[in-house]
Amino acid sequence: MATPAVPVPVPVPSTFSRRLREDVAHAREHVLLTALLGSPFLPRVVRRLLLNAAGAHAESAPGVGFSLTGDPRNLSVARGVYFNRATTIEAIAPVSIGANAAIGMQVLIMTSHHAIDADGRWSDTATGRPVVIEDRVWIGGRATILPGAHIEHDVVVAAGAVVTGRLLAHGVYAGVPAKRIRDLAGADPATDRRATA
């Protein structure tokens, strides 16, 4: 007569070991994706090559002080993009930057957030939402682009603005949250006024 199989307990990693692994991954990430990619001692072409070697698809080079966290494979940068100093991109989810965009000094592009339950407790696990920045977008210094934002082509985002949703083409957006304050040439008043930030 066969004896019943006893289930083997699966070890659950302790919070300490999980956080230690996270810290080691962040340190490795910092050396490659921040210290090297943002180095003022490396020419732009070398920074672009390093970014591609890390797994990104980059046709343009990051600027001095550039910082990338998350998975480099989630980052796509088209040709003609200009990054000013100290741009920070968090690529937990895909980030796509279109051709001839200009990213101002200390712009922050985020893709992750922590869900909050009905009791007000936030989840320990980050979830990602993609960010899309289309062609010919100019983002002013210290603007913040939040998870799920989609900035259509030919848009200007004012310095310090916080983008939380979709910005429709041919407009200037400012404020917290960013609101359309002016049309640019080529705007279609029938459709472009429906923009939400």
Torsion angle defined by CA atoms of residues 106, 33, 109 and 19, in that order, rounded to the nearest 10 degrees: -120
pLDDT at 3: 64
Which residues does the annotation mark as catalytic? 114
Contacts of 147 (CB under 8 A, 6+ apart): 93, 110, 111, 112, 113, 128, 129, 130, 131
Element (H, E) at 182: strand 179-183
Greatest mean pLDDT range, 9-18, 109-118, 167-176: 167-176
CATH architecture label of 18-116+127-184 = 3 Solenoid (2.160)
Distance of CA 120 to the CA centre of its chain: 26
Domain residue spans in the chain?
A: 18-116+127-184
Among the ranges given (8-17, 83-92, 170-179), the one the predictor scored with the smallest mean pLDDT: 8-17
pLDDT at 192: 47
**Facing residues of 155 across strands?**
171
**139-143 CB contacts, 8 Å cutoff, 24+ apart:** 139/101, 139/102, 139/103, 139/104, 139/107, 140/104, 140/107, 141/84, 141/104, 141/105, 141/106, 141/107, 142/104, 142/105, 142/106, 142/107, 142/108, 143/104, 143/107, 143/108
Asked if residue 80 has pLDDT above 70, the reply is yes
Cα separation, 74 vs 94, in Å, equals 4
Can you tell me the mean pLDDT for 74-84? 97
pLDDT at 36: 80
List the one residue out of 146, 74, 133 whose CA is nearest residue 101: 133
User: In the structure, what pLDDT confidence band is assigned to residue 88 with cuts at 50, 70 and 90?
Assistant: very high
